[in-house]
Copies of this chain bind each other. A is one copy, B any other.
Amino acid sequence: MSSQAGKPGETGADALCDTLLANGVDVCFANPGTSEMHFVAALDRKQQMRCVLGLFEGVVTGAADGYARMAEKPAATLLHTGPGLANALANMHNARRANTPMVNVVGDHASYHLPYDAPLTSDIESLARPMSGHVRRIGSAADVSAATAESIAAASRAPGLVSTLILPADHAWEAAPQVPPVKADLRAPTAADPTRITAAAKALKNGKKTVVLISGTGLRAQALESAQAIADTTGATIMAQQSNGRIERGAGRVQINRVPYPVDQAIEALKGFEQIILVGAKFPVVFFGYPGKPSSPVPADCVSLTLADPSDDLPAALEVLAGELGASAPKITAAPAIPDLMSGALSPESIAVTLGHGLPENAIICDESVTSGRDFFRFTFDAAPHDWLQVTGGAIGGGMPLAVGAALACPDRKVVNLQADGSAMYTNQALWTMARENLDVCVVIFSNRKYQILLGELKGVGAGEPGKNASRMLNLDEPALDWVKIAEGMGVEAARADTAEGFTQLFDRATKTKGPFLIEALI
């Protein structure tokens, strides 16, 4: 029942590559296996495609996420059957929460081989759906180009989504019709509903205490200027969602705070608001439910309005609303001055200060600092202008892969990865890709040698001091991870700092040279 391979250059796999390239998808993060060998052979015939290897699939999808957030177009990924997809899911989850466009190509067994239930067989659709907005199994070699174009279109439509395309090996190796690749039906974001804009303008003048909650492309520098102008005119507060794909910020730009992560701080931050206007943001929800605490930090009697959906053109919606309110140029207040460089023992605060002073112009911060990083945001309002990328879905192990993708998308910008040690372990293989591609990334590992956030949460549940079992599950100090050796083992130069001065010196060195460098910050 097997089928015959088509001629090199004329297979389904070739049609897939050609369709990706014809629609501007020219980077492929890959971790291939046997069932993808015809696709690899086809990629080998398309030198316009940049293939980037990850030694674990979480690196592949996390990098595709970081790439698309900066390049504003999807990358492709190449994954090997159900288990390969499974390893990729956590960072697909983060990407879907960031509304990142992504086209995953998952190789599967040849269609006629599936009924034999060979060892690698699994239900790929069931695995893909929870983390994908669009799932499609290719039905034949003739179907490849249309299916690929559909996948690209689904991924690319505002606000973007994760699309998963399942490629049975036989449809990759069989001959495909020799026709031009199908063009994806790409569309501009929709305009926000004018009645919503009018309603929001009216609400902003009703005297109620109002917060304008923004996410998505509403957090780009230009859009934030419209938002700030609205706030200046109406007295409303602007705030960003707790977790966002990308914020443009730094000296000379609008300052915006995020809804805090800890539930009590979030409740405090939103206390007293009578009205919330959503701009591409979700109605605020706390990250986890806790006994006796609410699921939303928003006051129960607060009225909610939507200015624009995530799929709308958010900068335009804010601009139109500002116009309707007669709001003109925003007042960009000077950011609080960054404290002087510190000395002595290294702490999250002293690292934040060094960062505030030393961040290179136009840097990209990939933030998975978890508890260690709660100071960074406030100490970098006055840093050189930069982009701030967060791990949006709460799936651990997003930070280093995001940095890989951002650095590939923007080779002329320095990427700074603020990275908790516990989280770094999940996708430590990203370091190798940084070395292989000589990416301009400075990784700062916050080496506190524990799952600090969980020790806090354990205290929060009233369990008191951790005993033996809890301690064995939450402390990482026996043995301590040596991040300098781990990095060097994967080809990345690295050094350790345990004083503020030492850290400042290493960060200075990292920003003055190109290429990957890891600083293990002992805190």
- B37/A461 in contact, CB under 8 A: yes
List B contacts of A461 (CB < 8 A): 5, 37-38, 41, 173
Question: Quick one: which of A87, A394, A457 has the most chain B CB within 10 A?
Answer: A87
Is A331 part of the binding interface, using a Cβ–Cβ cutoff of 8 Å? no
Closest to A479 in B: B491
List B contacts of A116 (CB < 8 A): 285, 295-296
14 contacts between A and B (CB under 8 A): A34-B288, A43-B470, A81-B394, A82-B89, A83-B393, A83-B394, A87-B89, A113-B286, A117-B285, A122-B130, A436-B478, A436-B479, A483-B489, A485-B488
Question: Quick one: which of A32, A81, A461, A468 has the most chain B CB within 10 A?
Answer: A461
- B41/A463 in contact, CB under 8 A: yes
List B contacts of A397 (CB < 8 A): 56, 87
Is A474 part of the binding interface, using a Cβ–Cβ cutoff of 8 Å? yes
- B33/A432 in contact, CB under 8 A: no
Q: How far is the CA of A78 from the CA of B4 in the complex (A)?
A: 46
Is A271 part of the binding interface, using a Cβ–Cβ cutoff of 8 Å? no
Is A341 part of the binding interface, using a Cβ–Cβ cutoff of 8 Å? no
CB distance from A378 to the nearest CB of B (A): 22
Q: Which 10 pairs, one residue from A and one from B, show the smallest C-beta to C-beta distance?
A: A479-B491, A113-B289, A485-B489, A83-B395, A110-B289, A486-B489, A41-B463, A86-B89, A83-B90, A123-B130
CB distance from A133 to the nearest CB of B (A): 13
Question: Quick one: which of A126, A289, A394 has the most chain B CB within 10 A?
Answer: A289
List B contacts of A55 (CB < 8 A): 422, 425-426, 476
Q: How far is the CA of A58 from the CA of B87 in the complex (A)?
A: 9
Evaluate whether A97 and B119 lie within 8 angstroms (CB atoms) in the complex, with A32-B454, A489-B485 already known.
Answer: yes
From B44, B129, B453, B490, contact of A466 by CB (8 A): B44
Report copies per complex.
Answer: 2
17 A-B pairs besides A56-B426, A83-B395 with CB distance below 8 A are A4-B292, A34-B288, A34-B453, A41-B470, A44-B466, A44-B469, A52-B472, A83-B393, A109-B289, A110-B289, A113-B286, A118-B287, A127-B130, A170-B291, A428-B429, A436-B479, A482-B489
List B contacts of A345 (CB < 8 A): none
Residues in chain A within 8 A of chain B (CB atoms):
1-5, 8, 30, 32-35, 37-38, 40-41, 43-47, 49, 51-53, 55-56, 58, 78, 81-84, 86-87, 89-90, 93, 97, 109-110, 112-113, 116-120, 122-124, 126-127, 129-131, 169-170, 173, 242-243, 282, 285-296, 392-397, 422, 425-426, 428-429, 432, 435-436, 453-454, 457-458, 460-463, 466-470, 472-474, 476, 478-491
From B40, B396, B490, contact of A469 by CB (8 A): B40
